[in-house]
A and B are shown apart, each in its own frame.
Chain A
Amino acid sequence: MVKWVNGYTGTRVKGFETRSPGYPYTRRPANPLTLVSLHTLYLSVLFFSVTISTNPLFNHKGEFMSRTFKLLTLVALIFSSLFGFSSLSYAEKTKMIQIKGSDTMVNLGQSWAEEYMQKYPDRSVAVTGGGSGTGISAIIAGTCDIAEASRNMTSGEKAKAEANGRKVKETTVAYDGIAVIVNPANPVSKLNIAQLGDIFTGKITNWSAVGGENKPFLILSRERNSGTHIFFLEHVLRRGKAKGPEEYATSALMMPSSQAIAEEVKSSQTAIGYIGLGYVNKDLKILEVAQAENEPFLIPSLDTVQDGTYKISRPLYFYTYENAGQDIQDFIQFALNPQGQEIVRTLDFVPLKKNV
């Protein structure tokens, strides 16, 4: 636990601001402790000046306080009162909703934020990415208001948040279908989950094993800070057993973003990767996936994800504090109402209900 000058008690601010360009600086609501600590600061300046002024080394004339020090004292007093009050009023004026987390959801959150700010011109929302883990760490540490996550908070993480005095609430806001993609020149167009698992764990290494050309796979995965990485690991490689022994092949390339995977698949005929539906474009070929050998092959789409038949899909969550302010509640409602869900659809994610 670290106690910051601004009065916030909490664990170190974790996360990855450097990867989120333009992370806006905002002042959090003033905590009474802020004022106390500021006053302490100025009082210590005052005390220091008195000590020095009475020290014979500097005070030859034997006065209690020279003119300089009287002046200094006065300045310290004026500043301490001014700063204290101004920080109080400033904090009340500018309140900003901080949203942080899943890279998959960054564009979604940004679009919601833009529409929301049009609806409520006096409110502002800032959205940053960094990965689900980053967002969840931030909500545990208290450095954001809403954490976007493409995976569930683990019970350990929830306990940690509670230990910090913050009970966390989960809201499902949309679904995401994860598409397995290959280069359009690749002859393979259908695979079942078992085959996918074998490919990504490195059990089989050549496209010929699944009916393709005699070339080795180029396996593309997201980095470990990605919720998509973990989801794919648990649902495809480990076939639903979250703590299974399977692990990505060591030869798998860990790509820093979905965009990077899309680019690499576009340029490499032997590549196979996975990305959210929102990132698929016409230069990529989406594989049809079957749950098991005799099951039908399905392509991720609005229908197959909503009715749950396409299995490599997942809910997207908002994590907020239970006692969140009205503006934050409004934002969540906004995301769930038809206008918000329409944004979900236009960004190629899957809305919660049919026919919104």
Chain B
Amino acid sequence: MEVKFSRPAHHRWIEFAVEKAIFGAGIISIIFVALIFLFLLKEGLVLFRHYPFTNFFFGIQWSPISEPPRLGIVPLILGSLAVTLGAVVMAVPLGVCAAIYIAEIAPGWLKDILKGTVEFLAAIPSIVLGFIGLVTLVPMVKNIFHIPTGLTAFSGSIMLAFMAMPTIVSMMEDSLRAVPRAYREGALALGATRWQTIYRVLIPAASSGILAAVMLGIGRVIGETMAVMMITGNSARLPTTLLEPVRTMTATIAAEMGEAVQGSTHYSSLFAIGIVLFIITFLINLTASAFIKRRK
């Protein structure tokens, strides 16, 4: 009489299929990122066949539909940087303080409420924030600074600071919480006050996590489009102060893609901007993950 030891054949088949399906799901996002980058390169690099490389990266005028087109992206890069810088200056100190309060000082019940609320901020669609900014913040900025228009980099920065807050606070709070309990106990045992513990022990111990949070916050800000397009005025001049309208790279792509004729110089220049933007956010994410790795 034959005795079967192996499981039925279809069990193995299912095992095999599930394993491969999970592998496929895992690998698919990598494939997508690679494909997106390849597509960007394919559509964007065509530009440099007709248009000099240096004029694109160092040109200071963006008039894509004049004859001949002038496609200098310096004002766009500076526009993006101005808005991002403003947002980071506002969001980081506020975010660090909020994270410290939530992680170290707030009582348990308040902790959950605060963290939940901050993270909920991330759930508000950016166009809603943009709209709120347009009707409330923009007139306010105009009246406070007595400038001709409130559609400025500064208004954009404030709105983007709101958008970066959830990322920054949530990640910083996690990394502060991850500092071993023994550090706190040690500091307190040596006679440090609460503030000294936070300032001299916890923050240095969590520094790489904090830096990673800041980098991811920047990544979030620089890629934001809709709100920026609505409230920064979109004027492609070289910004000298934050209280001037600027045109960001993202807003330029969004605003002009609808009109650009496929395959035209204008069209490929927008993709070239996309490449620049992609490389910037990629570097930011790379730095962030380097910081995260260092923590471990």
Contact = CB atoms under 8 A, between A and B. Distances in A.
Contact of A268 (B12, B142, B229, B237): B142
B262 A250 contact: no
Interface stretch (A9-17, A286-294, A309-317): A9-17
A256 B233 CA distance: 9
Interface string A34-69: 000000000000000000100000111100001010
Contact of B234 (A52, A157, A245, A255): A255
A329 interface: no
A264 interface: yes
B24 interface: no
A130 B258 contact: yes
Contacts of A214: none
Contact of B233 (A156, A243, A253, A267): A253
A137 B267 CA distance: 12
A270 B149 CA distance: 9
- Residue from the set B12, B64, B255 with the largest chain A CB neighbour count within 10 Å: B255
B159 to A, nearest CB: 15
B67 A245 contact: yes
B206 interface: no
Contact of A243 (B67, B236, B247, B259): B67
B149 A250 contact: no
A110 interface: no
A262 interface: no
A335 B13 CA distance: 62
B262 A264 contact: no
A160 B148 CA distance: 44
Interface string B33-68: 000000000000000000000000000011111110
Interface in A210-233: 215-216, 218, 223-226, 230, 233
A317 B67 CA distance: 25
B230 interface: yes
A251 B75 CA distance: 11
A300 interface: no
A268 B148 contact: yes
Contacts of B65: 224, 230, 233
A134 interface: yes
B151 A267 contact: no
Contacts of B233: 253-254
Contact of B258 (A225, A264, A270): A225
A133 interface: yes
Contacts of B257: 14, 16, 225
Contacts of A248: 63
Interface string B217-260: 00000000000011001111100000001010000001111111
Interface string A1-38: 00000000001101110010000000000000000000
Contacts of A160: 261-262
B151 A253 contact: yes
A193 interface: no
B148 A252 contact: no
Interface residues of A, number: 48
A138 to B, nearest CB: 10
Interface in B260-283: 260-262
A245 B65 CA distance: 10
Nearest to A133: B259
B186 interface: no
Contacts of B259: 131-134, 224-226
Interface residues of B, number: 38
Interface in B1-25: 6, 9-10, 12-13, 16
A147 interface: no
Contacts of B237: 250-251
Contacts of A233: 65
A60 B9 contact: yes
Contacts of A218: 148-149
A256 B62 CA distance: 17
A11 B264 CA distance: 14
A182 interface: no
Nearest to B225: A18
Contacts of B204: none
B139 interface: yes
Contacts of B9: 58-61, 66
Given A247-B66, A264-B151, A268-B149, A133 B142 contact: no
B256 A223 contact: yes
A142 to B, nearest CB: 13
Interface in B60-94: 61-67, 75
Given A12-B262, A61-B9, A133-B258, A267 B236 contact: no
A271 interface: yes
A225 B247 CA distance: 15
A156 B265 CA distance: 14
Contacts of A271: 148-149
Given A14-B262, A224-B259, 17 more contacts: A16-B254, A16-B258, A52-B13, A60-B6, A218-B148, A223-B255, A224-B256, A225-B258, A225-B259, A245-B67, A250-B61, A252-B235, A253-B235, A254-B233, A254-B236, A260-B134, A267-B139
Among all A-B residue pairs, the 7 with the closest Cβ atoms: A133-B259, A225-B259, A254-B234, A225-B258, A134-B258, A250-B237, A253-B233
Interface of B: 6, 9-10, 12-13, 16, 61-67, 75, 134, 139, 142, 148-149, 151, 229-230, 233-237, 245, 247, 254-262
12 contacts: A14-B257, A15-B258, A58-B9, A60-B9, A137-B262, A160-B261, A223-B234, A224-B256, A225-B259, A243-B67, A250-B61, A254-B247
Interface of A: 11-12, 14-16, 19, 52, 58-61, 66, 68, 130-134, 137, 156-157, 160, 215-216, 218, 223-226, 230, 233, 243, 245, 247-248, 250-256, 260, 264, 267-268, 270-271
